[in-house]
Structure formats: C-alpha cells, structure tokens
Amino acid sequence: MISETVTRYRAYLEKRRAYVHAMGLLGYDMNTVMPKGAGPIVGDTFGVLSEAMYDMVTSPEVEAMQREILAQRDEVDPAIVRTAELAMEERGRIACIPKEEYVQYTVDQTIADRVWHEAKIKSDFQMFLPHLEKLIAAKKRFAKYYRPDASVYATLLDEYEKGLNTETLDRFFTTVRERLVPVIAKIQSQPDVSFLHRHYPIAEQRIFSDYLMDVLGLDKNHCAIGETEHPFTTEFTKYDVRITTHYHENAVEASMYSVIHEGGHATYERNIGDEIARLPIGKGVSMSVHEGQSRFFENIIGRSEPFIEAIFPKMQEIFPEQLKDVDAHRFYVAVNKAEPSLIRTEADELTYSLHVMVRYELEKRLFDGDLEPKDLPAAWNRMYKDYLGVDVPDDRRGVLQDSHWASGLFGYFPSYALGSAYGAQLIKRMEQEIDVWDNVRNANLKPVVDWLTEHIYRFGCMKEPGKLMEEAFGAPFDPTYYTDYLTKKYSELYHLD
Amino acid sequence: MISETVTRYRAYLEKRRAYVHAMGLLGYDMNTVMPKGAGPIVGDTFGVLSEAMYDMVTSPEVEAMQREILAQRDEVDPAIVRTAELAMEERGRIACIPKEEYVQYTVDQTIADRVWHEAKIKSDFQMFLPHLEKLIAAKKRFAKYYRPDASVYATLLDEYEKGLNTETLDRFFTTVRERLVPVIAKIQSQPDVSFLHRHYPIAEQRIFSDYLMDVLGLDKNHCAIGETEHPFTTEFTKYDVRITTHYHENAVEASMYSVIHEGGHATYERNIGDEIARLPIGKGVSMSVHEGQSRFFENIIGRSEPFIEAIFPKMQEIFPEQLKDVDAHRFYVAVNKAEPSLIRTEADELTYSLHVMVRYELEKRLFDGDLEPKDLPAAWNRMYKDYLGVDVPDDRRGVLQDSHWASGLFGYFPSYALGSAYGAQLIKRMEQEIDVWDNVRNANLKPVVDWLTEHIYRFGCMKEPGKLMEEAFGAPFDPTYYTDYLTKKYSELYHLD
C-alpha cells in the first residue's frame, strides 16, 4: 500500500529532520557561543552524527520507499514526491562515497574552519594550507566518485545550483565585465562619507538592528539576532531562523547592511509554505536564489533612495549627534560609494561582481585546471590587481578573507553574482505588478515580501531553481537587466555622461 | 578477547557522548538563543534523539559488552569498569520503561518547560498544572517500573544522590531547623543595604563578571558566559563549559553571586581528570556534590570577609560612583543580610535551607503521600508562612518560581541543602591542610581549587558520592558543621549573644 509507505517515509523524514537540526545547531553554536578550546570535541560529535546521517540517507530501506513513491507518484502528495526525487539525487551524490571518507571529511571540515579563523587573524596562509589541500582533494575525489566523466567544477556548481555550468557563468561574467568595467572607469570624484565613521555606540546599533528587523517584518518569536565575527543566517525550520551581525563602532553602515542582507535570507525562509516546512524541501531552493534574496534586500531595496528616506528619521532619532548635519540624500549617496577595494563583503554593488569573478576564476583553475592550492595567494593578488586595480597587502585581506573554502564551500561564490543579477530582473517584473517604491518610501515592505512569497518563497524546493526564477521573471534569465540597473544607478549617482 | 571488547565499548561510548552532546546543546540553546516560537520543533527533535539514546543504552549488544567487562574487571582500565558499572545501573532504570513512554516523556518535558516559562510570567498556575501532572504521573510510573516495592520518592532521590533517603534527610532537616530557627529569631535590626540597589549599568557588570571569572580561574577558552532569565551551568565535556547569569541594573549582588555560584559548578567540571574527560563518568558525581561546590564558592568563599576584601578594590574601580561611600566591611555585611523571604535563589545563607525544606516536604507528600498537584499552591503558601513567616502574594513568587519541576527534576532540591552542608564540613578540613584565608584575601583561589581538585574534582564519578565526600572530609558527614558554621557567622555579623 502506497499510503502505508508514505506514512513510513514521513516518519523517516521527521527523524532525518531531527539529525539535520542537531547538526545545524552544532554548527551554529560553533560559530557563536562555543568556547574556542572545545573545537576538537565538536568535530568528533559531527563525525558521529554525520555517520548516522550517511546510514540514513543511503539505507536500502529508504531507497526502496523513495523508488516506490516515485513509481506511484500520481497517488502521492506532490511535496512527498518532490522530496523523494531530490533525496534520490542526494543519495546518488553520497552513496558513492565510502562511509569513512564521508565521515572523515565532516571532521576535517570542522578542523579546517577552526584553523582558518586563527590563520586569518594571524594572516598566515601556510598554517591553513594543509587543511585547504585536504578539503580540495576530498571534494575532487567525491566529485569523481559521483560523475567520473564530468568536469569536477561543474559537479560542484551543480550542487549549489542545479544545471549551472561554466559556459553559463563564463558568458555571465563576460557580460558583467564588458559592461561594468567602463562604468567603474568613469568614476572620478568621490562623495564625503566621513560621517559614516563617527562613533556609533554598539548599544544604540542594537536598537537600530531591532528596528530594521521590524521594517523587514521579521518576527522575533521566530527569528533571533546574534553577534559574530562573520555575519550569517541559519535556519532549522522556518519557525527557527537565526541571523547574526557584527558591530563596528566606527562604521554604522557595516552592521546595518549585514542585518538587511541576512534579514533577506531570513525573510525567504520565514515565508516558506507551512505545509512543507518540516520536509527537507521546506527551505530555500538554491544558493543563487538565496543570495538573490539577501542581496535584493541589501542593495536593490536597502540601498535605494526611497528606503533611506523611509528609515532616516528613525536613524536620526537613534543617532541624533552623529547624523545631525546629514540628510537622507547624503546618506543615500554615501552608502552607495563605489570604489575598487579589497574585501568582498564590504564592496559596493558596482564592483562586487568583480570580487566574485576572481573567486570563480580561481576555483575553475583549482578544480579543472593546474592551479595548486599553495599558489593561491599569488594568483589571488595578481587577479585583484588585474580586475580591481588594488594591491593586496596581506592574506588576511586577501585569500584568507572569506570563510567559504574553510567550510568546503567550493562553487558557492558564483551564487552571489548570479543572485545579484536575479534581483535586478525581479525588481523590473515586480514594478510592473505592484507599487514598489511608494510602499518602500513609507517603510512598508509587506507588498514586496508578499509578491516574493507568492512567486518564490512559498515553493521552497518544489521547483527547480532555474524554472522557479524563469516563472517569477515571466521570461528567461537575462544578465543585462543587472548591468543596465547598475549602469543607470551609478550614472545618476556619479553624474556620469 | 577482552581488549577487543573494550575497544568496541570505547567506540560505543564515543557515539553515546556525541548524542549526549547534541541533546545537551539543544537544551542549552532552548534556554538561551532559541526564538520562543520554535518550541514545538525542538521538542520533536529531542524525541528523535532520545529514542536513539534509548536504543543505544538498552541495546543487548551494549549490555553484553558491559557484562563482559564487569566479569573481567581486573584486566580492564578501572575508568572503563566504573563506566560499565554505572551504565548497568542506568540501563536498569531505563530499560524497564516502554520506549514510547520514555520518548513521550522527553517531548512532554520540553513542552512543560516552555509552558512553565509563560505561566511564571503570567503567575498562572492553572496553565502549568496539566503539564506538571503529566510529568509527575510519568515519574511515578517510571519509579514503579524500576523498583515496584520501593517508595517512589526514595527512588527519585537515589537518582541524584546514590544512597540518599528520607530518613537521612528528615534527620538532616530536623537538625537544621532546630539549630537555625532560634538564630533567625534573634535577629532584630538590619544593616543598610541601599547602596547595593543603586544604578549598576549592565555593560560595567559584564566587565565585573569577566573579572570574577578570572579570580575563579575560569579560562574563557573553555568556559563561556552568557545571559539568561534563570542562571545555570551546562557542560558538554570539561573542555566546553557554559555558565549564564542575569543582570539586574539595580542589584549588583544578584549577578555577582550568580557568576560565583555557576562558576563553582564550572570549576568542578573544568578540573575533572583529563583521562576520563570524554567518558560518561567524566562529570560531577552527584547533584549534592555539585551544588556543594557552587554554594561553597558562592557563600563560604564568596560571602566571606577576606574574599570581599580581595575583590573590593576592583569593584570600586568598575563602579566608582556607586561605591564611593562604601568600604569592604560594609559590603560584606550587606551581602550577608539575613531575612526570611520569598525567593529561594535570592535567599541568604542562613534561611536558605528552610526554602529547600519546603520543597522537600512537598515532594515527599506529592510522591509518597496524598498531596495532589492541584493543591500545591495552597500547601506551598502555608508552609512558607509556617517555616519562614512570609505571605506569598502570587504563584510567580511562590510555587512557580523554580524551573526544576518543569524540567522533571523531582528529588533534586535536597541537593542544595545537603551541598551547603558539605561545604561547611569541607572548609574545616581544608583549613587544617592549607592556608585558605590568606590566599583568598589576596584573590588567590588556586590553593583552594587545587585542594578540591585533589580530593574531589579529578575523580569525576569514579567513586560513590557518599564515599568521595567522606574521604574528602576525613570523617563521616556531620550536619552540625553546617549549623555551627552558620551560627558562628551570623552571631558575629548580627552581634547576637
């Protein structure tokens, strides 16, 4: 009886959810509260739980249930069918890896992450190198187990964004480079942004964060905010989402845009359909779509003039001294200052994609070319000079700046650029259907969130990411929306011809 | 081959440790960062992991390993023998419970805890009552499964402190009551403590907490401090200990003594022997011994005049305005003000045991007598009037004040009183062997911690708690050390005849 199988499968999925929850929480804790000296223990705990996950995901009994559900898909809840479909793909990627290698990788990854934190502080790439090499070697092996004949990097890309490949990305980055580099080159004089770097006490910045969460419509009963060195978002279900930020006393915009960025991720998760919330498909569908949401709120909404006009009175209330001689327009201009720089997470919208392009090119060469991990710093520094025209003074502000590789996230970076481009095409579509800007100008983001929920959020992983976005756009993806959006915005901001 | 069995057993213990870690972290998170609306999900996650724990702990394969190890105990590392011994006891307590009941209890307990938090805020006992009834009924059933012929309360007590029974406790509380009530009655005039309630900003109190952790010798690399409504300590291994406190802007001593109390628990865990740290026996041996440590540091050390003299200069440095007209002696007198009151955690040393006695008497009647949960508030209020002479204005400050029952901790409270009494006997012994007070007066707690490590901490659960303490005392436990200590201290403080 298929209904009996579905009941058993749902029980299995609930068990799986619990393990994912526990492992997710261990990861969250490791990056927030855990005292650093506890690192080795948590790695071993990860090892044990990941072994249990491996056994679950690859068990013949679970496979049989999934095959039965897929064979009789017409009689089964589509959410369960979709779950089984994606689970078979996941099974394919995992079951080909020998269990010991899979478990060892989980442990190695927590070690690499810990070492990276220290190496970054010390700006010591050599310290991190052996751990990075280990992760890269494992990722290469795993990709080959799964798809012996495919390019390794294509296999990695596909994991974060199904169907994504280097042809698409090469075309995308070529468009971006050809159209944006000339705009960047035209920028001559810069606005005065010194007021952003006055003293903004952390206690007041916390109040400001709470206000921003309110504006985004994030309910504290289901979304916590914490503080970490590197801001991130995690969720265990849509009912338990956590964002973090980092306060800099002399840079009010840093935490402000971290909160809006992570808040964008959280908004996506919080608006997944309740009916799929506990299933593995009850989460954001891909990294590009996810970064698309975070960067949409951060930049397209959060760095728009109407949004700044909406929140600026509250900002002046919280920071009366610091902002007494500033108006909303000056603030808007300041938070959009565009200038080639060293740090991706601090980069402006215009030059951002060039930071991603550096990582994309390096990853391609690391996995499918002849670049050795040991040669990364030199290659990194050279590309920053070539693409952004800046000299990298040390590895802390260079190749060690991002946490992704230390967490084994290779092939993830392109999501940021692609996500940014998604946002530009989305806003065009949205503007045709709802009154975006009058609402934003009144600090009312609800129509925007509702539109995104209707077209994207509620589906979770029910659709393939490419198809989901195409349906939301009402057209195929076209990166020129992105380059047009940036060209127009920065031509106005900098009065370019 | 026994060595092969031991290797397999160690692997099992490591797996068990990981699950205990994950569940402990879920509990910690629930009480710290987790947004409240996520409650139902975490309950279900607990259910899944506790089922896995049940299967592990009661598995015939594990039982066989343990029996084999115990049968050949002379050839096995004593730490593994002791682990197997205690695991067989744990197995006995758990395997007699039907699995569904065991799992359901875990889920119910997280629900009860959540409801209690809300009920306490609303001072609404009726809201909490059905959940409390459910936990009590389960605990009664479980005790009867395990020991059908024993008193239920004795079975519960034994779980927290092996060998403890109501005869011992009745005798103990009789001594305490007979000797301390007359002292309390003699107190007439009270010192001025108003300076404790000046404005102490939380930011400065956090700095003070860090200083106190330094004085206690707690290494931030292995011991984190956080903030919660109800302070507590948790540990995953000795390498990862977490304490929490709660800051009150108008009561500097509240967080101060929370930090020292929880710091006492943490000091115990941090000084477990490294060789047993990852084993289930690598933790504090019993609740009485544990509370003995926390209350030893909080009261016998922390509320001593030499300790106040040691830390007062630093306090004045952190709170110059608030303490400008206060000296160490006045501070010492103020933090030892004794007066019957409503809240156990805020009670002074002298009246503290009476608070515990109320709970002990109620628990006895709940489990072995005829007291119904619904009648708890009335019984509670009557006993507070009888024993402490205070009128309970509402259940928030009455029967709902403590979290223990909501977490299923019945039979735990006596540990606090017994632990306090342990401390008084310990200090007498310690004074004979080391120079306690000159070191404390110099903010040097190391000799004290070293002595406790040598005699108690390093052993973890290697010895039975009663035997451990008897060896540390160099004599049988005698509660008159405690009553003598309090009589002397308070007679001096209040100039009683």
CB spacing of B219 vs A37 below 8 angstroms: yes
The DSSP element (H or E) to which A265 belongs, if any, is helix A252-270
Give B-chain residues touching A239 at CB under 8 angstroms.
Answer: 35, 37-38, 40-41
Catalytic residue among A235, A253, A262, A363: A262
Output the pLDDT for position A1.
Answer: 86
Query: Looking at chain B, which residue has its C-alpha nearest residue A227?
Result: B33
CA B212 to chain CA centroid, nearest Å: 20
**What is the SS3 assignment for A238?**
coil
Query: pLDDT over 90 for what percent of chain B?
Result: 97
Output the pLDDT for position A449.
Answer: 98
Q: How many CB atoms lie within 10 A of CB B118?
A: 13
Q: Which long-range contacts (CB under 8 A, 24 or more apart) does B222-231 make?
A: B222/A35, B222/A37, B222/A38, B222/B270, B223/A35, B223/B266, B223/B270, B224/A33, B224/A34, B224/A35, B225/B259, B226/A33, B226/B32, B228/B31, B228/B32, B229/B117, B230/B31, B230/B403, B231/B258, B231/B261, B231/B262
Interface of A with B (CB under 8 A): 14-15, 17-19, 21-23, 25-26, 29, 32-38, 40-42, 44-45, 47-49, 52, 203, 219-224, 226, 236-237, 239-242, 278
Q: Tens of pLDDT along A435-445?
A: 999 999 999 99
Tell me what the pLDDT averaged over chain A comes to.
Answer: 96
Pairing of strands A233-237, A240-245: antiparallel
pLDDT reading at A497 higher than 80: no
Q: Tens of pLDDT along B150-168?
A: 999 999 999 888 888 999 9
Output the pLDDT for position A115.
Answer: 95
Asked whether B354 and B384 are in contact (CB, 8 A), the reply is no
CA A154 to CA A111: how far, in whole Å?
Answer: 26
Which of B339, B334, B366 lies closest to B352 in space, CA to CA?
B339
CA A112 to CA A43: how far, in whole Å?
Answer: 10
Q: How far A474 CA sits from the closest chain B CA (Å)?
A: 36
**Residue A312, CA distances (Å) to A201, A250, A323, A332 in order:** 17, 18, 9, 10
Interface of B with A (CB under 8 A): 14-15, 17-19, 21-23, 25-26, 29, 32-38, 40-42, 44-45, 47-49, 52, 203, 219-224, 226, 236-237, 239-242, 278
Give A-chain residues touching B26 at CB under 8 angstroms.
Answer: 21-22, 25
- Secondary structure string (H, E, C) spanning B266-294: HHHHHCCCHHHCCCCCCCCCCHHHHHHHH
Q: Tens of pLDDT along A190-203?
A: 999 999 999 999 99
CA dihedral over A276, A280, A284, A288, signed as positive or negative: negative
Q: Is B75 a catalytic residue?
A: no
**Stretch B165-174: mean pLDDT:** 94
> What is the predicted ipTM?
0.93
Output the pLDDT for position A173.
Answer: 96
The DSSP element (H or E) to which A217 belongs, if any, is none
Q: Tens of pLDDT along A273-302?
A: 999 999 999 999 999 999 999 999 999 999
pLDDT reading at B497 higher than 80: no
CA A119 to CA A403: how far, in whole Å?
Answer: 11
Tell me what the pLDDT averaged over chain B comes to.
Answer: 96
User: With bands split at pLDDT 50, 70 and 90, how would you rate the model's confidence at A229?
Assistant: confident
User: With bands split at pLDDT 50, 70 and 90, how would you rate the model's confidence at A160?
Assistant: confident
Q: Tens of pLDDT along A343-397?
A: 999 999 999 999 999 999 999 999 999 999 999 999 999 999 999 999 999 999 9
Q: Tens of pLDDT along B378-406?
A: 999 999 999 999 999 999 999 999 999 99
CA A242 to CA A262: how far, in whole Å?
Answer: 9
pLDDT reading at A129 higher than 80: yes
Q: Tens of pLDDT along B350-365?
A: 999 999 999 999 999 9
Q: How far B278 CA sits from the closest chain A CA (Å)?
A: 9
Q: Tens of pLDDT along B21-35?
A: 999 999 999 999 999
Give the closest of B23, B26, B222 to A35, CB-based: B222
User: With bands split at pLDDT 50, 70 and 90, how would you rate the model's confidence at B304?
Assistant: very high
Asked whether B466 and B455 are in contact (CB, 8 A), the reply is no
Q: Tens of pLDDT along B67-91?
A: 999 999 999 999 999 999 999 999 9
CB spacing of B240 vs A36 below 8 angstroms: no
